[in-house]
Structure formats: C-alpha cells, structure tokens
Structure 1
Amino acid sequence: MNQNFDIIIVGGGAAGFFTAINIVEKNPKLKVAILERGTEVLNKVRISGGGRCNVTHACFEPNELVKFYPRGEKELRGPFHQFCSGDTIEWFEKHGVELKIEADGRMFPVSNSSQTIIDCFLKATQKLGIAVLTGQSVQSIFKKENTWKIETQTENYLAEKLILATGSNPKVWEMLQNFGHAVVSPVPSLFTFNIKDSRIKELPGVAAQVTVKVKDTKLTSTGPLLITHWGMSGPAILKLSAWGARILHDKNYQFTIFINWLNDADKEAIEKKLKELKQEHAKKSVSKKSPFELTNRLWESLVLASGIEQETKWADLSKIQLQNLVNQLTNGTFQVNGKSTFKEEFVTAGGIDLKEINFKTMESKLHENLYFAGEIVNIDAITGGFNFQNAWTSGFIVANAV
C-alpha cells in the first residue's frame, strides 16, 4: 500500500519541522508528512544549549553572520539576506515564543527551556494537519518520472517533492551518492583538546583570555580558554576545532599549540613590563601575586614552569628566568593528544557538496524536486546558535521554493 503526499520531509529535527510548518502556512492545501526514524522527534533541540535551546545569535547583519561558518560562509550570504536572525526572532514571536539575548549574544527562549520550542513546533504541525510519522527509517529512495518513492521498513510513501533534513546521517548520504551526489566525508567539528601537562594539571575551572595558534598551520584563534580535567576547552579552542576540522583530523588529533596567556600582548612589551616589576617589587616574591589579568593560580603555575622557585624575589630574577617567564606567558607550548566531544553538541563538518545545490531554492542541481535543509549539506558553524540559524534559513528558503 502506498501512502500519497504532496511533499515528504525526511528528518524530524529542527530543520524538518521548520520547513514543514512554513510550507503549509504558505499553502494550506498541501498534504505534507515528516518521517522520523526515531521514536521521538526534535531530540537535538531538546538537549541543545544545555536543555535551554540556543535558538539563534544576535548578529543581524548577513555579511557579519556568515563569518561564523567555517563551511558555508560564501554560500549563505544570499540566503541570510532572505531570512536572518531578526526574521527568526519575529517568526518565533508570531508563534508565541519570546526570545531573549544573553551577554554573549546567544539567544534563548525567555522560558529558558527547550521544551517551549518543541511545544511550539508540535502545536503548529497539529494545527496545520502535518503528519508526523515516527519509527520510519528510510531504507531506499527511488525516482520514477515525476514522483519520489520512499520506502521505510514498514511503509511505502509517494510524493511529488522530497526534502531531506536528516542532519549528519551517513545512510542518507550513501543513498544520495547513488543518485550521483558528491558527499564531503564527515569529520568532527566542535571538540575540546586533550592535554596532559603539569602546568595545568591542578587548574581545572581556570579561564583566561588568550590567543592560540596551531604549529605548522595558519590556524589561530583569540577568545576565552577554559582549563578542564582533560585539557582545554572554551570558545578559543572550539573555534580552532571548527576552523581546523579537516586539518586536525588529518593530523590524527596529535599536534602542538602555542598559547599567549595575555590575549595577544607582544613579547617585547611583556619583557619591558617584567623588568619594571623587577625594579618596583624588588623585595616581593614573584609567584605570590599575578601582575596581569591572570588568576593567581595560573600565574604561579607559569612562574614555576619558568624555573623560578616559589620564594624567589623579583630582585633575584636572572636574565634567563625572566626570558623563560616571557616565553611561558606569550608563547607557551602544549602537546595536544586526542580530542573530546564538546558537551552533547556533536557537530560534524561534511555533507552534500555545496557546489551541487542552488542556494536560491536549496534544490539539488542534479535532481528536480529534491531539496535539502539543515546540516545534511556541508555547512557547519561554531557554537552559539549558528547551526540552528542555518536550519531556520534553509527551511524557510525551501518552503518559499516549493
């Protein structure tokens, strides 16, 4: 028995729901179904942002917004001019969900609960008569003349238009390769660095404003760094992991980083400052109090790593010790040995090759009436609500196109 629909959307996540709702709001006559392989829909929405759902980011200028996407920067410029973060806020407000901006620009529902977003989507699909079918894992996709046939393990579905919003699902990518689509193989994108080093061993929870560089690459990033039990995390590290997703994967996650613990202060300036301190604080012990914007614990650790004993006074610093301290502060070398997933926000770099998609409609350039929304394509962003914004924008454009 075949079930007939005008449009079938595969994937019951953020992009799938947003696309479906926008389609039926524009064309109430269309018969639309969402197929989800799991028993529950919107799982990633539920856990995102620590269960609060980081809906978007308060960056309202499309040309600025694209800079947060290591893959997709060029391609998203046009789409963001059609539907940007401001449109997202307005859309959710119209659907009864108020958003708020936090200090770092991330936006959450005022309720602080991702359930608000899930309820909003479920209510809208019910009201619009969109069929939400769970436990439907797609086994195969065929195209016959102008109809798509989708087989799951229990049902067959027919539809004129097919929209794939399956995120990073290797099985669906494989099916698309059989349709001639090129898939950029997926590698992890947001991850933290595993580092075993006596300088940071006792300092989990300590943060600093740093510049990090990866040796033998052009990768560099500035921002807050957080020391953890297993190494280093925080925006500065996550940015590097996103921009360096391919490079670091090819290095098998074994590489060297250089850290300037004083943001991006230059060596000469720091050397000069230390020489002044040597004069001013001659009688005080070096390790006691941090003269920079570093916690005392981190300062003490870097002083010891420079070969300066705990009780050494500023006046007694040798030339070599001073040089060592300058190096530890502005160019500390750390070995990275492996990675860890950042919270539960597992993002991959990879997906449908961007050259094969028409970004005015999100339609496949190879197959008519085949559309893509969300992370199934080779677009990903750093953390902060940007991956969701890509889901909303691509869903909106698909809805307009169909």
Structure 2
Amino acid sequence: MGKEESISSRQFVLLVLLFTVGSSIIIIPSSLVITASQDGWISAIVASIIGLGLAYLYSSFPKRYPGMNLPSIAELVLGKFLGRIIIVFYFFFCFTLAALVLRNFGDFMKTKIMLETPLEAIHIMFLIPVIYAVKLGLETYSRVAEITFPFVVLMFIILVGLTSPQINLTNIQPIAGEGLKTIFGGSLSMVGVPFLELVILTTFYTSINHPEKTRKSFLLGVTLGSSILIVTTLFTILVLGVELTKLKVYPTYVWAKKISIADFLERIEVTVAALWGITLFFKLVLSFHASLIMLKKLFNLKDYRLLVIPMSFILYIYSLIAYPNSAYFIDFATKTWLAYALLFGLIFPLLLLIIGSFKGKGQS
C-alpha cells in the first residue's frame, strides 16, 4: 500500500465529531420527541452519557492491543477462522451503514431541495466525491475535515442565534413530565444512531500518530458532537413544539425555515442542508472506507484502493433498495437497527476485550 496513512489526535477528534453529528442532526430530534415528547432533549443528554461510556470502551483497545485496529484484533483474539467470520459481519455492518447514509442524503435532497431530480442522479452526484475521498485516503480527507469544520460551527451558530427569538419555553414544560422510564426509552434511538455506530472508527486506530491520546480524542469528539445534537433537539422543541416535531421527518430543516429577520433575512434553511451535507459526507466516507479495510484484511490485499470503484457500484445499488421511504427508515432506525448496532457496537467489542484478557494476548 505504500506509506502508512497517519492522522493527528486533533484530526481524529474532528472525525469522531463529524461522524457523531452525521445523519443524526436532521433525523434524531423527531425520533426522540416521538418517544419522550417535550423531554426529548433530556433523552438526548442521557444518550450522550451512554455514548461517552461507549467511547471509553472503544478507546480501551489501543492500550490492550497497541498498533492494531478492529479487524486485526478480532483475528488475534478469536483465531483466524472465527476472527474472519467476525470481520465479515463487520464488513456488512459498515457497508450497510454506508448505504443507509447515502440513501438518507438522497431522500432529503429529493423531498426538500431537488424535487425534480431523480433519486439515482442525486446518489451518483454525492457518491463521486466520496469515491474520490476514499481513493485519496484517510490522511487527505482528515485535512479536509480541518478545513470544513469552522464552516460547520459557523453555520450552527447562525442557525441557533437567528432562531433564538422564536423560542417558547412552554414547549418543554413540564420538564420530566413523561417520567424517567419514557426518558430512558427515548434515549435508545440516539444510542443506536450514532453512538453504537462509533465502533467503526476503531478500524482507523493504526493511523493515529499518537495512540496514547486516543481515549482523550474519542471522548472529546463524542462530547462535542453530542452537545450539537442536544442543542439541536432542544431548539427544535422550543421553536416548533412537540406536535410539529413529531409530524415532520426532518424537523431540523423546518426549524431553520423559521428564520425571519425584519422580513429581509429569510429562507436560509439551506444552511441546515449544507451543515448536514458536510457531516453526512464524512460519515459516509468513514463507513465506506472502513468496509473496504475489512475486505482488505479478509482477502489479505495490499491496497484497499483496488476495491473502491467496484464496491462503489454495489453501494450505489444497495442504497436504492435499502428501504422504501423516509418514514420506514425512522421506524427501522429506532427499532431494528438498534438491535444490530447493539451486537456490533457493544456485544462484540466486550467479547473481544473479555476473551483477550483471559487469553492474555495483546499486552505490549
């Protein structure tokens, strides 16, 4: 493959943050409010605390297995046969997530912005820069993350600042009125998307040039990303109210449409589309890239780049048949996907750590 790719701990923080925000910023508020009503923002806080716990779990790997990533650890701990079975499972998890993320973008653009454009064309337009980014490698698109991150922050500040005059505090009252059971139940959807999915980032551990800072970077990235999601959920409820948030598939976009300053500054909801598009791009790139690394390990290939073009065609087709419509996806993401994510994001990592500790492997 040539020179090993290398990223700084700061770049890893940004990748974790962008992955966390990803598809979540525009779909999570609705799923939280459907379950927890006006307490959806509290559910987001609970989910974020669980997310930090998961980040702590995932960042245990570099200390126990220095210089190794997820597929290598699976093969070391479980042996070649069982390890490769786990790698196959993780490939399908990463690849399926990439297909779902691509379809999320296509559905949003098709229903809200590019109404007359075929879904297939939207997918192709978005997939081309993704292919280019993965071909260039982790080191290159991590630098792009550094360049685009200030714009993400600026757009988010503009969105929050310009809609602040329209908040209605009665929309979140009574606080905790739905009870603790409902609050914890509502948090599950956000635990599944995106926190359990963060296990994918363990695939890139071998590229972090200061592995001793991995835990700090992971926790910081999750903290910053979850803070954006909490504020987004809170403001969506405060501005739109519970009932309207429940009814809308993309409530964050509707929230942005509320911006109106002196009948002059209006219709700048495109900021949400841009914010979401940037974060979604990195989540798709990381998921697709991780799936190729799994295949590289599985077939002992020298370079994953050989697989980028052929697998992108399969990804394109997979994204078109992934699910029938956006409403179906919301239900799928909060129920069925949670079960899959628990298997890959909690059970398998715990098993690798527990079995590895019993076998005494991976000690430096």
TM class by shorter-chain length? under 0.3
TM-score (norm 1): 0.23
Structure with the greater alpha carbon radius of gyration: 1
TM-score (norm 2): 0.25
- Whose helix fraction is larger, Structure 1's or Structure 2's? 2
